[in-house]
Amino acid sequence: MTKVHNFSAGPGILPAEVLKEASEACINFENLNLSLLEISHRSKNYEKVMDEARSLVKELFEVGDAHEVLYLGGGASLQFAMVPYNLLRENGTAAYVNTGVWASKAIKEAKIIGTTKVIASSEDKKFTYVPKGYEIPADADYLHITSNNTIYGTQMKSFPKSPIPLVCDMSSDIFSRKVNAKDFDLIYAGAQKNMGPAGSTMVMVKKEALGKTGRNMLSMLDYQVHIKGGSMYNTPPVFPIYVTMLTLKWLKKNGGISWIENLNQQKADAIYNEIDRNSMFHGTTAIEDRSFMNVCFLMNKPELEPEFDKFWKEANISGIRGHRDVGGYRASLYNALPLESVNVLVEVMKAFEKKFA
Ligand SMILES: *Cc1c(COP(=O)(O)O)cnc(C)c1O
């Protein structure tokens, strides 16, 4: 198989050894002579998978028993609704920071559930920066933020000191860097960006934050029901959870968060340095808010895009066309992407400049 340098924004790259082990489990899981896909989720073998997938999150986040970890269906998008449904009191207010398309979608759902205030936004500059220095209303039920804005390539380098429960959509930078997870009442992430394949969403929630809304809760949308069921109230997405577990194990085995943070920094430095040096390209966001996960850049002469496309395709690079809202290019540097792939892209950008500048 030709080695492809996969910069896809999501679903994103997974470690090759994880894909290999997952493919074997599809045929013969743990020498049962059965596929992982055809055994009960309540079997001993699968319960072990679920336990490990949950405990690895706590271990990597360094949290204790105050938090619970769930794997749910419905994508991060369902969490846009479940968060206010579980945390926003009937007469309460929720506070949101609007940093892009995903945050806007979360706000849209919260407004249907209850009173929702947008306390800061970067919409005035097409979401090319992260708002800072805003006032957090002390009487709101929670503050919702998005740690990394996948489409625009901006990232919160530090988190607001919040006097109220802090909720974060970490879909596209979870486990890419050290965060003080204990400071958050709820963290959620669709697995398909940086944790595993599509089909399951990780939710880590502080137990004491729940059960306060006064709402008569639908079972499937109630975190407490899922906690009580050990994340198996109904049949969970067994395969995505298994692959997520393998990916987290891979991360831990290689050195955990400090290892990956260092590697991600090297990858981001390599490509941003080239964007800033190369006369053919420019970055799209405020420099201090540049994402280490999704690197957006534009061509100074957009008419040369078809020529550049030939260059990177020739080098077996895949998935760097920008999101339709931003255009140009977006290189996603998720955990499983090796530094070598970034170096290949940098060489392609250099060669392109040599020919066309
Ligand atoms: C991709 C993404 C989502 C949406 O995830 P789904 O699992 O497709 O619902 C939400 N938030 C962020 C930050 C994302 O990158």
With beta carbons less than 8 A apart as the criterion, state whether 337 and 13 touch: yes
Q: What is the model's pLDDT at position 74?
A: 97
58 catalytically annotated: no
Q: State whether 290 and 144 are in the same domain.
A: no
Q: What is the model's pLDDT at position 1?
A: 81
Q: State whether 25 and 162 are in the same domain.
A: yes
Provide the 8-state DSSP code for 281. E
With beta carbons less than 8 A apart as the criterion, state whether 196 and 56 touch: no
Tell me the residue range of the domain where 323 lies. 256-356
| Ligand 1 atom 12 nearest Cα | 171
Q: What is the model's pLDDT at position 44?
A: 97
Q: What is the model's pLDDT at position 232?
A: 98
Q: How far is the CA of 348 from the centre of ligand 1 (A)?
A: 30
Q: State whether 230 and 325 are in the same domain.
A: no
Q: What is the model's pLDDT at position 334?
A: 98
Q: Is the peptide bond before 236 cis (omega within 30 degrees of 0)?
A: no
| Ligand 1 pocket list (CB less than 6 A) | 10, 75-77, 102, 146, 150, 169, 171-172, 190, 193
Does any domain span residue 2? no
Q: How far is the CA of 194 from the centre of ligand 1 (A)?
A: 11
* E strand or H helix that includes residue 299: strand 294-299
Helix (H) and strand (E) counts in the chain? 9, 14
Q: What is the CATH number of the domain that holds 211?
A: 3.40.640.10
- In the chain, which residues have pLDDT < 50? none
Q: What is the model's pLDDT at position 99?
A: 98
Does any domain span residue 11? no
Written as six digits, the tokens of 50 are 């679920």
Q: What is the CATH number of the domain that holds 280?
A: 3.90.1150.10
With beta carbons less than 8 A apart as the criterion, state whether 181 and 322 touch: no
CA-based end-to-end distance of the chain = 34
Q: State whether 176 and 268 are in the same domain.
A: no
Closest to 81 (Cα-Cα) out of 224, 192, 204, 223: 223
141, 173, 185, 193: the catalytic one is 193
Written as six digits, the tokens of 275 are 């964007």
